[in-house]
Amino acid sequence: MAVTRFTTRSYPQDLRIFPSPAARISLVLLGALLLTFPLFMGTYGVFVACICGVSIISALGLNLLTGCTGLMSMGHAAFMGIGAYTAAILAARTGLPLIATLPLAGLAAALAGLIVGVPALRLKGLYLIVTTLAFQFIVEHVIYHWESLTQSDKGIALPSPDLFGFPLNSYQSYYYVILALAVAAAVFTKNLLMSRTGRAFVAIRDRDIAAEIIGIHMAKYKIMSFAISSFMAGVAGALYAYLLHLISPDHFTFNQSILYIAMIIVGGMGTVLGSILGAVFMVLLPEAINAVSGPLVSAYPDLAPRIGGLSVMVYGLIIIFFLLFEPLGLFGIWIRIKRYWKTWPYTY
Amino acid sequence: MGFLEIREISLHFKGIVALDRVSLNVEEGELVAVIGPNGAGKTCLLNCISGFYRPDGGNILFAGRDLAHWRPDQIAKLGISRTFQNVELFARMNVIDNMMLGRHHHFRHGFWHNALFGYRATEEAVHRRKVEEIIDFLEMERWRKHLVSSLPYGVQKRVELGRALVQEPRLLLLDEPMAGMNQEETEDIARFILDIHEELGTTIVMIEHDMDVVMDISKRICVLDFGRKIAEGTPGEVQKNLDVQKAYLGDDATTLLKKEGAG
């Protein structure tokens, strides 16, 4: 196998997302797997897949803001919360269908994003982190204490969603809605990143002075990044609300915001694939810990009260591991594996 | 009416006078050098033109427009591009991406088009062609897909020049394009600057410390010292100017030179 293949490609060919036939074939296989997934997995498996999908949409949003534009946000769960509560309140009180509540939830979150985005024009780094942190706590507080609207810790129950009269009353049917939206979100983000908008985001992240001098309107793109990111968080929050049928303030806490930051660090900052891998990894991790801890507890009953703390420790260790040894995250590992097989049996 | 008219601009930082009623006219198609000792206000002058600093007095007209209230990105769109003294590239991107960013304001498609059809990338290919032309022009083919941070300093400066060129500027501002370069790289850049000036017909305002280069390639020189313009003219005139000699060599040296001349 050739180590380096010198090929002549036209510019459009050079610009394709999936340049090789192998990549396209594996994409088709993955698509087939995802479409048939509910047929051979149990209800719980499909439920976990739904959570994965929601997390992917949300992580894509956060990665666009933090990974690509370089604006750190500690309030991502708050944006999800705004989306979830918008959808829940609209669905429970006015009976609006899913097709209307989802975009409205996104818009409500995007509006909040615009408001938080304005201080971001002047704040960078730590100062922005603290601002978004404050936003997170404000939203938590409002959700908890505006009882007439949110019913505080009693939570809001959502009716079962339907799409154009077709009831989505099982996880299996709802799975396809989430799958479609997750794919749409991934394509949307990939498109943005490959075009001038995405390049402008990255330019602002890397060197804002140079970005301005080549004609990038910094304020516009920073606000845009906040709005898109929070729109995606809002839609993800709404999907999450319908999935759980009941939402309460506990679902959108500061811990959740940290979890999303962990997703993009573990997955890979600033990449679409990284957001997906990171989200799936962080959702499956507690499942894996549960699977291990079951037999562990039955073997050593003394461990039972401490097993919860153990999972938090594993979380922390994994984040530290990635920060130290693989800053590019799972995406970096994936790239390395790909390169290894491309050039095999040579080392480079 | 001139192409670029700088009319008596002043700039103060608290008590420090960075620019004191500096005027300069540049005609379309000229190559003007701005020289002066360190801290003379040369970079401040460029920063005023490109909109990073707002002069407290006077105004700058470019092709008849007063630049007073324009943002840097709007000024870039008007057709003024520049390079920096310390390279300001996007270090984590490769050469092509850096230069594609230079095309930013030439793209017609906006956010929605990007988000929905980005993968078709038709417009992308058009701009890529322009980028490749400039890569050819500056002889950077072999670094195309290299990360900018992995390139030697001299090449990075060339990439930055390339990024300024793909913007298809009408006025190109160069802030010490030869700083920190060896003899060979300096000659290369000097040749490129002349090519840009002659083949592309771009108007250039250049700050440079390398006097050999300045005297060789510029038609007109403006000398700044402590924020004031102390001389302007052809290289020959400027070299003979006593104020300029004083600024560069100090009072004593000038008297020495005079004595030598007399003796």
Supply the CATH number for residue A96's domain.
1.10.3470
How many inter-chain contacts (A to B, CB under 8 Å) are there? Answer: 118
Q: Is B76 on the interface with A (CB under 8 A)?
A: yes
**pLDDT tops 90 at residue A209:** no
Q: Which residues contact A213 (CB under 8 A, 6 or more apart)?
A: B50, B72, B73, B76, B81, B82, B84, B88
Contact residues, chain A, for B115 at CB < 8 Å? 188, 191-192, 197
Tell me if A240 is assigned to some domain.
Answer: yes
**Domain that residue A161 falls in:** 41-343
- Chain B residue with minimum CA distance to A218: B73
Q: What is the pLDDT of residue B106?
A: 84
Assigned token pair, A114: 């615009």
Which residues on adjacent β-strands are paired with residue B80?
B171
* Residue of B70, B80, B88 to mutate when probing chain A, most A C-beta within 10 A: B88
Determine the average pLDDT of the residues in B42-46.
Answer: 91
What distance in Å separates residue A199's CA from the closest CA in chain B? 7
B78 CB within 8 Å of a chain A CB: no
Q: Average pLDDT for residues B198-204, to the nearest whole number?
A: 91
B102 touches chain A (CB under 8 A): yes
pLDDT score, position B120: 60
Q: Over the Cα atoms of chain A, what is R_g?
A: 21
Average pLDDT score over residue span B186-212 = 91
pLDDT of amino acid A1: 37
Domains of chain B: 4-89+168-262 (3.40.50.300)
* B180-197 mean pLDDT: 90
**Under an 8 A CB cutoff, do B52 and A209 touch?**
yes
Put simply, the answer to whether B73 touches A200 (Cβ < 8 Å) is no
Q: Mutating which of B46, B53, B73, B123 best tests the A interface, going by the most A Cβ atoms within 10 A?
A: B73
- Cα B123 from Cα B100, distance rounded (Å): 12
Within a domain: residue A3?
no
C-alpha–C-alpha distance, residues A182 and A55, integer Å: 9
**What pLDDT digit, counting tens, does each position of A282-312 carry?**
999 888 887 887 787 788 877 777 777 777 7
What is the Cα–Cα distance from A243 to A256, expressed in whole angstroms? 17
Residue A24 in domain:
no
- The distance of Cα A271 from the centroid of its chain, to the nearest Å, equals 11
pLDDT at B256 over 70: no
pLDDT at A8: 64
Cβ distance of A194 and B121 shorter than 8 Å: yes
Residues 89-128 of A with CB under 8 A from B: none
Partners of residue B107 in chain A, C-beta under 8 Å: 196
In chain B, residues with a C-beta closer than 8 Å to the C-beta of A207 are: 88-91
A199 interface with B at CB cutoff 8 Å: yes
**Number of independent structural domains in chain A:** 1
- pLDDT category, B1, cuts 50, 70, 90? low
Q: For chain A, what percent of residues have pLDDT higher than 70? A: 93
How far is the first Cα of chain B from the last one, in angstroms, to the nearest whole number?
47
Of A6-10, A221-225, B39-43, B204-208, the least confident: A6-10
Of B73, B117, B129, the CB nearest to A217: B73
**Residue B131 structure tokens:** 């980028």
pLDDT, tens digit, for every residue of B94-112? 999 999 999 888 887 778 7
pLDDT value of position A325? 85
Q: Is residue A110 part of a domain?
A: yes
Q: Decide: helix, strand or coil at residue B9.
A: strand
CB B41 within 8 A of CB B98: no
Highest averaged pLDDT of the listed ranges A123-132, A232-241, A311-320, B182-191:
A232-241
Most confident of the ranges A183-187, A291-295, A317-321, A329-333: A183-187
Tell me which residues of chain A, numbers 154 to 193, contact chain B at a CB-CB cutoff of 8 Å. Answer: 187-188, 190-193
Q: Identify the residue among A196, A224, A269 best suited for mutation to test binding to B, counting B beta carbons within 10 A and taking the highest.
A: A196
Domain assignment of residue A119, yes or no: yes
Give residue-wise pLDDT tens across range A159-197. Answer: 888 888 787 888 888 899 999 999 999 999 998 988 888
Asked if B191 and B98 touch (Cβ cutoff 8 Å), the reply is no
**Per residue in A91-100, pLDDT tens?**
988 888 888 9
pLDDT bucket at B262, cuts 50 / 70 / 90: low
Contacts of A305 by beta carbon, 8 Å cutoff, 6+ apart: none
Of all residues in chain B, the percent with pLDDT exceeding 90 is: 38
- What is the per-residue burial (b if ≥16 Cβ within 10 Å, else e) of B107-142? bebebebbbeebbebebbeebbebbbebbebbebee
B156 touching A (Cβ < 8 Å): no
Q: Is A141 contained in some domain?
A: yes
Query: pLDDT tens digits for B60-97?
Result: 999 888 888 899 999 999 999 999 988 889 888 899 99
Q: What are phi and psi of A216, to 5 degrees?
A: -95, 125
On whether residue A199 sits in a domain, the answer given is yes
Q: Look at B121 and A12 and tell me if their CB atoms are within 8 Å.
A: yes
CA–CA dist A315, B194 (Å, integer):
59
Q: Is residue A112 predicted with pLDDT exceeding 60?
A: yes
Neighbours of A245 (CB within 10 A): 14
What integer pLDDT is reported at residue B263 of this predicted model?
44
Residues of chain B contacting A15 with CB distance shorter than 8 Å = 121, 124-125, 128
